[in-house]
């Protein structure tokens, strides 16, 4: 099976069909940014971008994604040049312990792409023009949990990243 992660192609040989994408990333490819939080798709710590869309990698069987393009937090920025969302999190102190941060960042990148495409959220009104209002950002990021409570700093970090 072939899987492209952060632009590098990987051939996975002898992969157990029950192996999740998260376990491939962490155990086979040694990319530890995506975290195993709940292992049930409830916390979002394992969020990565799969063909540009945010997914909980703990719920995806790797074998179901042949030739997929996966982007992890490690693939978003470059040394000395962080992704705008990463920079926003740094500038606004959008993390505390940091455990959920990679998933939050990947989710925010995917969410901003959804906004750019005009996708509505559960709170988007019919006359809503501001898809980056606080309520919109909170709703769109609701699948990512932070036990430390860094949410108030994440909202302006994401809004600022959208403007970059």
CATH class of 84-163: mainly alpha
All CATH 3.10.20.30 domain ranges of the chain, comma separated, are 2-74
User: Over its length of 164 residues, how does the chain's per-residue pLDDT go in tens digits?
Assistant: 899 999 999 999 999 999 999 999 999 999 999 999 999 999 999 999 999 999 999 999 999 998 899 999 999 998 899 999 999 999 999 988 889 999 999 999 999 999 999 898 888 877 666 778 899 999 999 999 998 888 899 999 999 999 87
Residues in a beta bridge with 48? 55
Distance (Å, rounded) from C-alpha 75 to C-alpha 83? Answer: 9
Residue with tokens 């996708």, as numbered in its chain: 119
CATH class of 2-74: alpha beta
């Amino acid at each position: 099976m072939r899987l492209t992660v952060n632009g590098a192609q990987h051939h996975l040989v002898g992969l157990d069909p029950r192996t999740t994408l998260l376990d491939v990333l962490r155990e086979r490819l040694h990319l530890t940014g995506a975290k195993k939080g709940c292992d049930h798709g409830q916390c979002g710590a394992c969020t990565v971008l799969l063909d540009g869309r945010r997914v909980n990698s703990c719920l995806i069987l790797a074998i179901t994604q042949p030739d997929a393009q996966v982007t992890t937090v490690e693939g978003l920025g470059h040394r000395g040049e962080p992704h705008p969302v990463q920079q926003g999190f740094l500038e606004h102190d959008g993390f505390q312990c940091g455990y959920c941060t990679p998933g939050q960042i990947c989710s925010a990148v995917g969410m901003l792409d959804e906004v750019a495409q005009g996708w509505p959220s559960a709170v988007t009104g019919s006359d809503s023009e501001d898809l980056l209002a606080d309520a919109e950002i909170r709703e769109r990021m609701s699948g990512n949990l932070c036990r430390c409570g860094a949410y108030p700093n994440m909202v302006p970090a994401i809004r600022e990243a959208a403007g970059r």
